[in-house]
Structure 1
Amino acid sequence: MLIFETRRLWLLPTLVCTLFLGACTPTAEHNAAALVPVQSPNDDREYRYLELDNKLKVLLISDPDTKKGAAALDVYVGSAQNPVDRAGLAHFLEHMLFLGTDKYPDAAEYEEFITEHGGSRNAYTAFEHTNYFFDIKHTSLEPALDRFAQFFIAPRFDAQYVDREVNAVEAEYQLGLKTDGRRNLDVLREVVNPEHPFSILGVGTKDTLADRADAPIRESLLAFYDRYYSANLMTLVVLGQESLDELEAIVRPMFGAVPNKERQVERIEQPLYLPQTLPSLVYIRPEASQRQLQLSFPMPDYSDHFRRKSLEFVAHLIGHEGEGSLLSLLKSKGWAETLGTGAGLRYRGGSAFGINITLTEQGMVQREQVLYAVFQYIEMLDLAGPSEQLYREEGQIAGIQFRFRESGDPIGYVAGLANDLHQLPPAEVLRGNLLMDEFTPEEIKAITREHLRPEQALITVIGKEVPVDRQSEFYFTEYSVTPAPADSAWLAVASDDIDASLHLPAPNAFIAEDVSLRPLPEQLPELPQLLRDSGNLKLWYRQDDEFRIPKGALYTNFRSPVVNSTVEQAAAVQLYVGLLTDAVNEFAYPAQLAGLNFSLYRHARGISLKVSGYNDKQLVLLQQIVEAIAGADLDTDRFTNIRDDLVRNLENVKTRRPFSQAIGAARQLLVSGEYSEPALIAELQDMTPQQVQAMADQFWADVQADVLLHGNYSEQAIAGVEQALSPLLTNGQPRPPAALEVVRLQPGDNFVHPVAVEHDDSVVFWYRQGPDNGWGSRAMTSLSGQITKSGFFQQLRTEQQLGYVVSALYWPQYDVPALGFVIQSPSASAPQVAVAIDAFLEGTLSGEQAITAEQFERHKLALINEIQQPHKNLWEESEYFWSEIAKRDLDFDGREQWVAAVESIEFDAWQAWFQTHMVDSSAAVLFTTAGRWGEVPDGQVIDSPEALRSQRESFLVD
């Protein structure tokens, strides 16, 4: 479950329908009221919108090819509705709703049912929305929906779980105490108008949710549920294999029983900021090493103007990264690294527009000049006036995106649509977010001229050295607030003093023009074919015949032994990739806007360059990127800033959540080529352009390239790709990359690796390795992960309340199988957590919580269904082919081998395997942080990778 303080099943109904078909088939009257939303020509699913008699809005989606059903219900209520004296109540209700209903009173029943049938579930509380969602094996959608519907009909809110879930909310609150995003929001909460609901804490704590003599928390919970959980404030989206009529026959009786209390939620009339407090400067001292300049402007509510997207258009212009942009100017001055824009908060009654700039060290010193440049750019926009050509261009890009929209995960799709049903007309719910066809120059002009004014700005400066004089109430963030000095130059930018380099973006040359589909040959291989195999280039090609969109994946992996053999190499390659990415960003940014994406990143065997999207202009972009790489001048003014930014990001790993740091430490200990942040920082501190260039020369001298061309390509495209890549490839015989290594633990290993983390919570990440990396071991280990994840969460989180972060997961490293059990606890020491994990594992095979043969078979089918999930879009299939190429599994049959190995497992064989390898003599390393207790579990302490590798051999992975 997540809390965002701003803003990123049963067979009885089927039996009844069979016996009394007329009562459950949608009536003519119902169908007459149904509506079919406008959908993408590339979308072959069927849709039906309808409103139930109780005014619950429903969108049904029939997808005969889906292997998973999914549903989401969004309540148009969130932390904005928290009572003043009950901060976090909406979020607390979200937690409680999962814990039993009158029809299904067992608090564990929903979680167990979803997991055993191959699904997942979650929820989040935002400022104005609470969204509940799940997915599941398609054959189990109906009984899952029955359980889901009961949340909104007859939840129990059992008193025995109230105190436990208050502890869970407190653990979630504690989890964010060192997280700068939460800490900064706590300051903003105190700075906004105290009459605005944003001033109330969203997540909640044990104190805000404590029983009071006049108001026990359970009574407050019941009152909130009664006040706001009404069918007329809800939207439901259901996706399944069933026909629309079948889905409607399922949904109407189930969700028609949700009470309609005819509730209304008032618009927020209070201004977000009191006018007399602006312009203001807020200074925040962060936990992480960072330098940020943030501007926030109060805005009207533009949510009804979804066809205009005037605010989004202005955000696009200010946030542009191409030539002539604000970011380009700031980078040329050495003042900024990144810039982002957008509406950070939207609600019924208003919104806030934000500009967020990551500053360099010099930019922090010159922040007054940075502010001046921001308002210069806004003044330039106002003087230039709204450009209809640029607006239509953005609308064209959005229209192409909608025309060729692709399928994604059902669970994310339904959750997003359930939210959108509150914001968009039903006819436009599929298209509305990509509809931009009402150019309204007067509205655009009003945004730049009336709202993005310096005198209406809340300016936040975040840095280690800023002046502070107080602490925020809940997250103890040090900050200060002061009126902006009246003589600040940025308050009075003159129209005749705009920097000459600032101008509107040029027309986007990367917008796809040829969106035709290449004809398919009569004989089309099902798998990628190796069509080029020279000493330095291997190229696999497959023309897509399934998704049939004018897009493709052009992936290149430059493999080299000079990448991770030493920490110096790893640091230099990482810096080199950062320099190259920066060098190509300005000319590649328009391509990304047009749906032509690229990424450049370091990995264990080299550097990967991925170009994907519309294939029309792909070769042009590839040629430009290769030319920039081949001719890169590393000794530039940007070198120091990019190196310092990389160092800062590595330093900030220590501010990540403790469990995340423990998992990172596990990779560093177990996997070759993974180095600690302090070791990388030590190499980077004084690294020179000459050192990076020397590494780059060695890297390219030994490069061999793997290439995948997958999508809307003909074979004629191969020659163009070869020619484009040729400047980076030598004619010699390159050395192969070194094999990857994962430490091979021995049965009975009981290593403990302490991780130094500055946090009061304890953490245990218990890594338990499979006995080998064959398919049998992978199958046993992954099935064990599927079997344990539900019970682990339910027992150690819901029942024992050991922490908010509680998870059991399959955690292979380079196909060396393992299970990972992770708990971050604010209430128990690491030794206590370790004892609880051991007890759980022992109880998996015996006692009240033991897995039965029937449960085993359900989990087995669930895992097989998950492995066999068809690729939902071209990119999923491309990534699968790419991963198989990287592993040299060139038969592309990894999923089939995995499924066959899982299918062969019998219950008694799994029990014996689990008892031996996960309980009696596991091969394990326990990664732990001591927290405020200062204790770690017993075991042989290993304090470095070298200490472990001196005692154990390794798995070698090609």
Structure 2
Amino acid sequence: MNHPSTISDDEFARHAGLPPGSRLREARLANGLTVTAAEVPDARWQRLVGAVNVGYLDEPDDCRGLAHLLEHALFLGSAGFPGAGELARWVGQRGGRYNARTDETVTEVHLHLPPADTDEGLARLVDMLARPRFEPGLVAHEVEVLEAEFRARLADPALHRLAALGRLCREGHPARHSHAGNRNTLGTDASRLAARLTDFHDHHYRAGLMALVMLGPLPLEAQLEQLTRHGATLPTGAVPSPPRTWRWAQPGGVAWHPPAASPGASALELFWPLPEEQAATHTDWLAAVAARLADGGLAATLQATMELDRLEVTLEPVGLGSALALSLAPTPDEETVQAMLATCCAALEQASVATLPAPSVSAADLDAWPRRYARQLPGSTERIPRGEALEESSLLPWLTPQQCRLLWQAPAASGRWKTLTETGTRWRPQPSLSEGVALPSRAPPDLCVRPRREDTDTTTPRELPRNEQFRLWCGKPARMRDTTPTSLCLGWPTPTSQLGARLCQWRQNTLPLRQAALERGLQLSCGGDARGDWLIVSGGADRLCSLAELALACWPEQATLPPCDPPTGLLAQRLLSQLETSAPRVEQAGALPMLGWVSDEQDAGAARAMLDCLAERLSAVPNLMAGTTPHEAREEIDGTRWLPPQGNDHVAMLEVAGPDDTPRNRWLLCLLAQCHDAAFQHEMRQRRGLGYVAAVRYREASGAPRLGYVVQSPHAEIDGLRQAIADFLTQQSEALACLTAAEMERRKRGLVAYAGYPETQTETIAQLWQALRRHAAMKNASPPWQPLPWEAESQALAALHADSLLDLAKDLAAGRLVQRWWLHQPR
């Protein structure tokens, strides 16, 4: 094994965007497998990813969905672990997570595990990739699961987006067709399908086309030893496959919308496809172009004349291969589309030829990093280290307005629309060459630099003298092991009425500001819940107060726009999201004063001034706080809620509220969800055959820990779904939660990864701020952050006993916990 370059492990990690103190090493084994180990000392989880260089573009034309079916079939058992659902059971017992995904060129499986379970988890992951079992009866069942999934996803705009995208691809190319996979495209001959899965697996699942990536706190050398030992068992080499051909037809555009378009839902994607080899050799230059487009200037330019909720720039667009892409919303009409197109093309031309600064490496998302890295590795022969100077002029012809493709999710309106037979997607050609005039360019928001004294970093956390209108703390209760940024947090009471719309408008107002902040290494987070609204700013101290002041100036006292996030994802996912946003009972939420926290005492004066100004704004708006009374703003959780019709499936979710917001009860609910989830899936999907989605999930929102038991079915009626969930709880709730002391300790060890020291600076600040808000709402007499929130969580977890979990399960089965039904049925 050889290191891919001469740079050190820590420098390699820094170039790859990992946190300070990390080490990274990559190697290729004798069988052709690429392995990557990332040691991140502050990580609590060990993340494992197995990726294969095969996706739906590699499927045979007469068996669309085969790659997706193979991804599902990997979980039906392997030679070493033959039980179907064995991985789900094993991971669940250890408090971990797992998932898998198939896209156009890569299939990947990922696990999150406590570090102590890494070796066995890697053995199970490699065995399922190398030696899956394709028993025809189980394969036939999985085809029905894919059929139900396909029907369920007909309500998800993401499926229709990919279907419309195919209209921009060449005739005869695999990318032109839907590859979701269903009963019609796969057929119902289970023995034939099992044979085709075997052939497809033998051809593609070879070490030379695969990668294993691991990220976590284990030492780099231990990670590499495990990766090498288990990776060596994968089949050697790679069977040559025909090269993937260029998918795109001549530049053009497509307008589309789902068969039942959501009122007002609209979005515009502009993208410039790039040759893969050239894009790979110009990674830094392309990143610099993308950073210039996302520095706040383009967003400010567009917002000067139109509403703009979202402007995202990416080099990893979903379903587009190698491309530079912009996503913008909303785009309600042709005139707006033309103005955006002209303005974005002009901005890209300027960004492509101007002298660009090297983009700063943003803080790593530890969940996403190993998956993204693994997806870049299969089949690659050499990685080019960052920082090498390369000639970018060869890419300039690919970034002209003439090479732009356009994908417009248009509002449903009159006009001549075509319909795709398989998905029902409505579409029509849309010109991609702009006839509009680019808007006058505007500069990004200016963040003023303020001189500061040298930070001695000795401030002890304490509350400053109280003001009758607010409370303010200063100091750093905890530090990350690497350098902690300066932070400033402010919160104030607000009505829960119009909460979603108000936050949506606030985020719209701050879009250019958030982009300008990121370009300067700062972060801005705007949030709200039943306790009120808040903002968190963190990063370089010299611009911190300026960022906070500008963000407060953007806060709307009252929303004038509806919520701007159109529904996406499966209906069951949309219902589960309600657990994080719906208002809890007032006694759980607690009243909250205006409050602030600054990590550096030098910012205390500025924070006081901002809170004073905010208090004047709140008092000057008549009836602004009228909605904060318990009866008007925070309804009881009891009752039934109906989701507006958004698809053809029936969905039922039982929401169960925890007794209170203490760490003890949060952990008990987490444990109960773990004990119930696998059995609930088996009962609803396998034994009762109700549908594609059946899950038990734990969620929290503003002082209300809760569980959701959700089932989505293409055929069962609402009353049947409700009865199935109720039967499960009365018949199995207690038995599944009746653990021996040894079983309880094992599950608690699995949950330790949730309770440890924060993994990132962002997580540290967020946990401390929410702990302070909880402390203020509960009017706790003890000092805030005593103990630190993660220490309190760890202590509560260690003190749990099996009989407490059983008592909670009995209360749930007997209906003694507060509950509410969330339901959906077709029109």
Question: Scaled by the length of structure 1, what TM-score is found?
Answer: 0.74
Tell me how far apart the structure 1 counterparts of residues 549 and 4 of structure 2 sit (CA, whole Å): 55
1:876 aligns to 2:809 (yes or no): no
1:536 aligns to 2:476 (yes or no): no
- Tell me which residue corresponds to 2:562: 647
- Tell me which residue corresponds to 1:236: 212
Q: Aligned ranges for residues 561-640 of structure 1 at < 5 Å?
A: 563-564=495-496, 570-571=497-498, 582=508, 585-586=511-512, 589-626=515-552
Q: What amino acid is aligned across from residue 884 of structure 1 in structure 2?
A: A
Rate the CA distance shift 1:514–1:596 in 2: closer, same or farther, 3 A.
farther
Tell me how far apart the structure 1 counterparts of residues 390 and 447 of structure 2 sit (CA, whole Å): 22
Q: Aligned ranges for residues 181-192 of structure 1 at < 5 Å?
A: 181-192=158-169
- Tell me which residue corresponds to 2:35: 58
1:705 aligns to 2:705 (yes or no): no
Rate the CA distance shift 1:315–1:922 in 2: closer, same or farther, 3 A.
same
Rate the CA distance shift 1:903–1:263 in 2: closer, same or farther, 3 A.
same
- Tell me which residue corresponds to 2:571: 658
2:463 is paired with a residue whose SS is: strand
1:808 aligns to 2:696 (yes or no): yes
Tell me how far apart the structure 2 counterparts of residues 912 and 217 of structure 1 sit (CA, whole Å): 47
Tell me how far apart the structure 1 counterparts of residues 50 and 388 of structure 2 sit (CA, whole Å): 30
Q: What amino acid is aligned across from residue 58 of structure 2 in structure 1?
A: Q
Rate the CA distance shift 1:345–1:377 in 2: closer, same or farther, 3 A.
closer
2:228 is paired with a residue whose SS is: helix
Query: Is the 1:301–1:346 contact (alpha carbons within 8 Å) kept by the matching residues of 2?
Result: no
Determine which of 100, 111, 122 is the counterpart of 1:123: 100
Q: Deviations over 1:231-256 (max 9, x none)?
A: 11011112455444433333333221
2:651 is paired with a residue whose SS is: strand
Tell me how far apart the structure 2 counterparts of residues 424 and 706 of structure 1 sit (CA, whole Å): 52
Rate the CA distance shift 1:294–1:707 in 2: closer, same or farther, 3 A.
same
Tell me how far apart the structure 2 counterparts of residues 49 and 384 of structure 1 sit (CA, whole Å): 33
Gap runs ≥5 in structure 1? 1-28, 565-569, 675-701, 746-750, 935-958
Deviation at 1:346, TM superposition (A): 8.3
Determine which of 712, 726, 743 is the counterpart of 2:636: 743
1:301 aligns to 2:276 (yes or no): yes
1:722 aligns to 2:697 (yes or no): no
Q: Aligned ranges for residues 256-335 of structure 1 at < 5 Å?
A: 256-273=232-249, 275=250, 278-279=251-252, 282-284=255-257, 287-289=261-263, 290-301=265-276, 304-318=279-293, 321-322=296-297, 325=298, 327-334=299-306
Determine which of 553, 556, 559 is the counterpart of 2:490: 556
Query: Is the 1:770–1:917 contact (alpha carbons within 8 Å) kept by the matching residues of 2?
Result: no
Determine which of 215, 225, 245 is the counterpart of 1:249: 225
Query: Is the 2:649–2:712 contact (alpha carbons within 8 Å) kept by the matching residues of 1?
Result: yes
- Tell me which residue corresponds to 1:386: 353
1:452 aligns to 2:429 (yes or no): no
Rate the CA distance shift 1:672–1:661 in 2: closer, same or farther, 3 A.
farther
Q: Deviations over 1:81-134 (max 9, x none)?
A: 121111111111111101211111112322121111121111111111111111
Tell me how far apart the structure 2 counterparts of residues 321 and 704 of structure 1 sit (CA, whole Å): 33
Deviation at 1:721, TM superposition (A): 3.0
Determine which of 181, 202, 205 is the counterpart of 1:226: 202
Deviation at 1:442, TM superposition (A): 2.5
1:765 is paired with a residue whose SS is: strand
Determine which of 366, 377, 384 is the counterpart of 1:421: 377
Rate the CA distance shift 1:351–1:907 in 2: closer, same or farther, 3 A.
closer
Tell me how far apart the structure 2 counterparts of residues 923 and 381 of structure 1 sit (CA, whole Å): 56
Query: Is the 2:292–2:351 contact (alpha carbons within 8 Å) kept by the matching residues of 1?
Result: no
Rate the CA distance shift 1:172–1:851 in 2: closer, same or farther, 3 A.
farther
Query: Is the 1:793–1:807 contact (alpha carbons within 8 Å) kept by the matching residues of 2?
Result: yes
1:54 is paired with a residue whose SS is: coil
1:856 aligns to 2:744 (yes or no): yes
Q: What amino acid is aligned across from residue 805 of structure 1 in structure 2?
A: V
Tell me how far apart the structure 1 counterparts of residues 125 and 503 of structure 2 sit (CA, whole Å): 47
Query: Is the 1:35–1:48 contact (alpha carbons within 8 Å) kept by the matching residues of 2?
Result: no
- Tell me which residue corresponds to 1:782: 670
Tell me how far apart the structure 1 counterparts of residues 699 and 306 of structure 2 sit (CA, whole Å): 42
Determine which of 456, 462, 465 is the counterpart of 1:519: 456
- Tell me which residue corresponds to 2:681: 793
Query: Is the 2:164–2:254 contact (alpha carbons within 8 Å) kept by the matching residues of 1?
Result: no
1:371 aligns to 2:338 (yes or no): yes
Tell me how far apart the structure 2 counterparts of residues 132 and 333 of structure 1 sit (CA, whole Å): 44
Query: Is the 1:133–1:415 contact (alpha carbons within 8 Å) kept by the matching residues of 2?
Result: yes
2:489 is paired with a residue whose SS is: strand
Query: Is the 2:462–2:473 contact (alpha carbons within 8 Å) kept by the matching residues of 1?
Result: yes
2:185 is paired with a residue whose SS is: coil
Tell me how far apart the structure 2 counterparts of residues 111 and 202 of structure 1 sit (CA, whole Å): 26
Deviation at 1:779, TM superposition (A): 4.5
Q: Deviations over 1:684-722 (max 9, x none)?
A: xxxxxxxxxxxxxxxxxx995311223xx3x22322333
Rate the CA distance shift 1:332–1:146 in 2: closer, same or farther, 3 A.
closer
Tell me how far apart the structure 2 counterparts of residues 659 and 482 of structure 1 sit (CA, whole Å): 33
1:729 is paired with a residue whose SS is: helix
Determine which of 892, 906, 911 is the counterpart of 2:806: 911
Tell me how far apart the structure 2 counterparts of residues 663 and 444 of structure 1 sit (CA, whole Å): 44
Q: What amino acid is aligned across from residue 24 of structure 2 in structure 1?
A: Y
1:105 is paired with a residue whose SS is: coil
190-199 or 798-807, larger mean C-alpha shift: 798-807
Rate the CA distance shift 1:417–1:458 in 2: closer, same or farther, 3 A.
closer
Query: Is the 2:667–2:797 contact (alpha carbons within 8 Å) kept by the matching residues of 1?
Result: yes
Tell me how far apart the structure 2 counterparts of residues 516 and 264 of structure 1 sit (CA, whole Å): 63
Deviation at 1:296, TM superposition (A): 4.4
Tell me how far apart the structure 1 counterparts of residues 389 and 482 of structure 2 sit (CA, whole Å): 31
Gap runs ≥5 in structure 2? none
- Tell me which residue corresponds to 1:828: 716
Deviation at 1:334, TM superposition (A): 3.9
Q: Deviations over 1:914-945 (max 9, x none)?
A: 2x31223444545254646x9xxxxxxxxxxx
1:819 aligns to 2:707 (yes or no): yes
Q: What amino acid is aligned across from residue 428 of structure 2 in structure 1?
A: S
- Tell me which residue corresponds to 1:954: none
Rate the CA distance shift 1:578–1:191 in 2: closer, same or farther, 3 A.
closer
Q: Aligned ranges for residues 82-93 of structure 1 at < 5 Å?
A: 82-93=59-70
- Tell me which residue corresponds to 1:69: 46
Tell me how far apart the structure 2 counterparts of residues 910 and 336 of structure 1 sit (CA, whole Å): 48
Deviation at 1:443, TM superposition (A): 3.7
Deviation at 1:790, TM superposition (A): 3.0
- Tell me which residue corresponds to 1:149: 126
CA RMSD of aligned residues (A): 4.2
Q: What amino acid is aligned across from residue 545 of structure 2 in structure 1?
A: L
Structure showing greater Rg: 1
1:519 is paired with a residue whose SS is: coil
Deviation at 1:457, TM superposition (A): 4.2
Q: Deviations over 1:129-170 (max 9, x none)?
A: 111111212111111211111112221122231122112222
Q: What amino acid is aligned across from residue 377 of structure 2 in structure 1?
A: L
Q: What amino acid is aligned across from residue 329 of structure 2 in structure 1?
A: T
Tell me how far apart the structure 2 counterparts of residues 930 and 478 of structure 1 sit (CA, whole Å): 24
How many residues of Structure 1 are paired with residues of Structure 2 in the alignment? 801
- Tell me which residue corresponds to 1:687: none
* Identical amino acids, percent of aligned pairs: 19
